[in-house]
Amino acid sequence: MNTPDFLLTLNSHGWSTCWIVADGRPVELAMSFAFSDPCFDLIDALSRLIKGESFVTFFWYGEPGGERIEIERNPEQHHLLKVRIDGFSESFGEEIKAFEPTIHFEIKQRQLLLGFYFQLKKTEVLLQDPSFEKHRTDLFPSERFKAFESEAKQYLNLK
C-alpha cells in the first residue's frame, strides 16, 4: 500500500479542488464555497484529530452533489486513520438518500496532517501574491489556519 498524497487548490470565483491519490488511483473532489467553507471544515477536522477525537466527519458540497468525509481512528493502533469519502448527488439542503463510495484508504495520522498542512500552507503563501489573491478574496480562513498551524507544528514537531 502506497501512502496517499494530496493536492489542494484554491481556484478563483468560489471553487476549490482536492486531488487525492491512493494506491495509484487519482480522485478529484470539487468544492463550492457557496454553501460552506471547505478549507475551514478541513482545518477544523484536522485540529480535532490532533486533539485526540476518534471520529470526525464533514461535507464538501458541489453544485449539485458533494462528498461526505469521515475519518475514524483505529481503536487498537491510534496512529492509524481510516478515511472514507462517499459521494452523493442531492443538492445542498436536500435530504441525502444514498452515498456511493468515492475513495477509502488508511493512513497514519502524521502523514495525513503533514500532507494537508503543507497544502494549506502553500495556499496561504500564494495568497500573498496579488495576482493569485485576485478573485480569491475571503476564500481562505487565514485566522483559523494560523491557530491550526500552531497546533500542527507542535504536534508534528516542525520548527
**What is the set of domains in the chain, with CATH numbers?**
5-154 (3.30.2450)
Residues contacting 136, CB < 8 A, separation 6+: 10, 11, 12, 127
pTM for the complete prediction? 0.94
In the chain, what is the greatest distance between 2 CA atoms, to the nearest angstrom?
A: 48
Residues contacting 50, CB < 8 A, separation 6+: 113, 151, 152, 155
- Digits of tens for pLDDT over the chain (159 positions)? 678 999 999 988 889 999 999 989 999 999 999 989 999 999 999 999 999 999 999 999 998 899 999 999 999 999 999 999 999 999 898 999 999 999 999 999 999 999 999 999 999 999 999 999 887 878 899 999 999 999 999 999 998
- pLDDT tens digits for range 9-19: 998 888 999 99
Retrieve residue 11's grid coordinates: 481556484
Answer whether 69's CB lies under 8 Å from 60's CB. yes
Answer whether 107's CB lies under 8 Å from 120's CB. no
